[in-house]
Structure 1
């Protein structure tokens, strides 16, 4: 696993990095158990959808989970749990793996808090494309937040009007996802990318200890994702918001080079 992960990071293959990390149980969050704990409800109630948690309560829970994950990302717990453990540290910057590992965990937690279940497939496995979309939103990739909201179950009430002829046709989804993936890879799989995010808060980062860079980067990205998920929460997301997101997606698609656009089959 280590060799695959190292090689994928070195050449910037985000999809391969995610696929390799998903082989570890450390990155997986059990939705039922997690929501039962943070909502203080029985697992049976969660399974049956008996959840009456207000948006304000969800926001407070999300803030606590962000603080917890940022705090833990400064530790070595994730690295030490991977097969091979510290062997990775001497080969590639530990911050890169820490950031990605805890980002995957936090994405799931925030997704479940705000009722976004689209990152899980029918077999209960995490979907790589969904994770890329969440990561793209975290790291401000153009169009990622809009595509995330339009693809969510919260937008289902509006999708019959335009969705099949615009945003989520195969010809638009994959080229945009490819562009988002490139942005995320540049900001997460290189030390320079992590430093760029951290420098927005602390101009001089040379003295930041290992783990500190991850925490700074992750806090910025997590707050960005949290804000976008709040915008897309069902009580906030109106038809006018949906239409605006569609316009943003279409505008981004028009800027994608034609050779990267797949024909619609």
Structure 2
């Protein structure tokens, strides 16, 4: 097997874990409910309505408030992931996540929860607006990039920045579908997924999954979980806060995305 094939396979394995996690109950965050709950102590009703209908940036919410809300969300998810309590009790048992270890899927589920919360408070559009059973390709690609940022993958940061620029430039309320699934961002997504697959799931799949207890146990031990989840969440928070999309006063309008292949 060539190195390219090995990376592609690892990327496929990682995507399998991400997709399984996205199907777990409680993983998908309702953007409107989250923003209302997170902002009610800090903002006026008018600001909250604008944040939900448009974005927190368009509502002019100060960066100080954004940071405080983000920190609160990180603290909440970190406390939950340590015990893996929020996503416990999977309807239908392990059948729902197929060949992916339940603990690994739950850990990834918490990563996806905090990624969504941080994205929404930093003025990103809704990832699961249609609430379909299956995660669409653009959302899957975007979540892969977010997880890549959490793990410190440099090219993932560049990919997230490019998508943010597309959303800002095209005054859109949705992800750039074409760019994320077959355009200029997609090759970055594949590389990030491959990297994450090699580093996170290769041993699990190579060991027959069920026998990979030392790997799963190490990842999910309380102390190590706390020591990894918190800094990873902070890394994503810092990157999202640095993007122009987050700045107060940045507005989006009711316009469809135009996939700008020329944006670099």
Which TM bucket (shorter chain)?
0.5 to 0.7
Alignment of 1:160-179 (within 5 A): 170=182, 172-179=184-191
The 1-side partners of 2:11 and 2:165 are apart by 34
Aligned length, in residue pairs:
209
> Partner of 2:26: helix, strand, or coil?
helix
8 Å Cα contact 1:116-1:153 kept in structure 2: no
The 2-side partners of 1:169 and 1:189 are apart by 23
2:114 is aligned with 1:106: yes
State the Cα deviation string for residues 191-250 of structure 1 (Å, max 9, x = none): 89xxxxxxxxxxxxx99983332222111211110110011143669xxxxxxxxxxx97
1:234 to 234, 245, 260: 245
TM-score by length of 1: 0.64
CA RMSD of aligned residues (A): 3.9
State the Cα deviation string for residues 44-98 of structure 1 (Å, max 9, x = none): 554434733211110111111111111110113245232355899xx98765233
- Is there any run of 5+ residues in structure 2 with no aligned partner, and where? 1-9, 172-178, 205-216, 249-262
2:65 is aligned with 1:57: yes
Q: Residues 235, 175 of structure 1: CA spacing in aligned structure 2 closer, same or farther, 3 A cutoff?
A: closer
Higher relative contact order (CA 8 A, sep 6+): 2
> Partner of 2:123: helix, strand, or coil?
coil
Residue of structure 2 in register with 1:73 after alignment: 81
2:140 is aligned with 1:135: no
> Partner of 2:236: helix, strand, or coil?
helix
Residue of structure 1 in register with 2:6 after alignment: none
Alignment of 1:179-190 (within 5 A): 179-189=191-201
Q: Residues 46, 230 of structure 1: CA spacing in aligned structure 2 closer, same or farther, 3 A cutoff?
A: closer
